[in-house]
Amino acid sequence: MSVHTREFSGARAKIAIIGSGNIGTDLMFKALLSRRVEVVAMAGIDPGSDGLARARRRGVATTHEGVDGLVALPEFADVDIVLDATSAGAHAYNSATVREHGKRVIDLTPAAIGPYVVPPVNLEEHLAAPNINMVTCGGQATIPIVAAVAGETPVHYAEIVASIASKSAGPGTRANIDEFTETTSRAIEQVGGAQRGKAIIVLNPAEPPLIMRDTVYCLVSDCDEDKVAAAVAAMVEKVQGYVPGYRLKQAVQFSPVPPDEPVWTMVPGVRGGTKVSVFLEVEGAAHYLPAYAGNLDIMTSAALRTAERLAEVSA
């Protein structure tokens, strides 16, 4: 099946959203502010969901019959891009169904059917892909940093820890914990450029809820600290272009790691070097979700940036 390639002629690309939960609804609110895309349909499975009700009030066509209901909507014929904000388990069927109609797919789940994409790192390489995977919230927050370090010196091992407010982790997020760690770890290697990657997620039950915090550790043999710090700062600025609440918590830290440290067992053949530590926080824009839900905000922001870029190159 060929990719849908309707010429946009300067008009906004039409998008549909599958999933009327927190992520799908926040994505809708962001997309409603966009000059490059237009939300024309939203599909969910709960007829009483807040997301579907809000979509209807804004003139968006809705269905509570999931992807099957979506493809039956008259508005679907003109859709250019479908964004899936459901779950890894549901995505395989959702993707196959809309692909039968020749639609492009942006996947906000950890299903990883299509190539991993982190906008400031490798979006331009995958503009023709029929299905684009947005990795995970932790991946979107941390992989740009790993890539920035890897651009200056080989990264033998990268470990990321994403700490999110428990209240910002809905049923879909909790159901996908295993997929989160597996998908993020692979993307740290394939997109971030680390020889080996590891991902950890922490659901923080603190009250009041804390905003998303991310820690990135990179083990390198040697590096020019000034160049690495500058590369990290430049990458943070790129991400801030679509996630204003993304920021460094403190200066990049560099510490020696002796050859006898057990961590080197993770990278056979390498002994001794430097640990680069980067500490981040992500505050959400609060379009629909609370500001502390930066983990969801960075996913929806990255997906929207990707959809807008696809619209630009297809115009």
CATH number at residue 93: 3.40.50.720
Structural domain includes residue 36: yes
Asked whether 21 and 85 are in contact (CB, 8 A), the reply is yes
- pLDDT, position 172: 72
Asked if 163 and 272 sit in the same domain, the reply is: yes
Examine the pLDDT at 310 and tell me if it is beyond 90. Answer: yes
What pTM did the predictor assign?
0.94
pLDDT at 176: 79
pLDDT at 3 over 60: no
Claim to verify: residue 272 and residue 229 sit in the same structural domain? yes
pLDDT at 8 over 60: no
Residues of the chain with pLDDT > 70, as a percent, come to 97
Q: Are 85 and 17 in contact (CB under 8 A)?
A: yes
Please state the rounded mean pLDDT for residues 303-312: 97
Comparison of pLDDT for 169 and 29, the residue scoring more:
29
Residue 260, domain extent: 137-291
Beta strands in 187-252 (DSSP E): 197-204, 212-220, 246-248
Residue list for the binding site for NAD(+): 20-23, 168-176, 295
137 classed as catalytic: yes
Q: Is residue 8 part of a domain?
A: no
Tokens of 224: 């020019």
Any domain includes 6: no
Radius of gyration of the chain (CA): 20
Same domain, 130 and 234: no
Long-range contact pairs involving 103-106 (C-beta distance under 8 Å, separation at least 24): 103/4, 103/16, 103/79, 104/3, 104/4, 104/80, 104/130, 104/131, 104/132, 104/310, 105/81, 105/130, 105/131, 105/132, 106/81, 106/82, 106/132, 106/134, 106/303, 106/306, 106/307, 106/310
Residues 89-137 have pLDDT tens digits of 999 999 999 999 999 999 999 899 999 999 999 999 999 999 999 999 9
| 2 belongs to a structural domain | no
In a domain, 7, yes or no: no
Task: Write out the two tokens for 288.
Answer: 């629909």
How many domains is the chain partitioned into structurally? 2
Q: What is the mean predicted confidence (pLDDT) over 234-260?
A: 97
What is the per-residue pLDDT across 174-229, written as a single tens digit (0 to 9) for each? 887 888 899 999 999 999 999 999 999 999 999 999 999 999 999 999 899 999 99
In-domain check, residue 55:
yes
CATH number at residue 239: 3.30.360.10
pLDDT score at 10: 58
Instruction: Say yes or no: 177 and 268 in one domain.
Output: yes
pLDDT in tens, 74-83: 999 999 999 9
Phi-psi region of 19 (alpha: psi -120 to 50; beta: other; left: phi over 0): left
Question: Predicted confidence band at 4 (pLDDT cuts at 50, 70, 90)?
Answer: very low
State the catalytic residue, choosing from 106, 137, 164, 298: 137
Is 221 a member of any domain?
yes
pLDDT, residue 267, reads 86
Residue 164 lies in a domain: yes
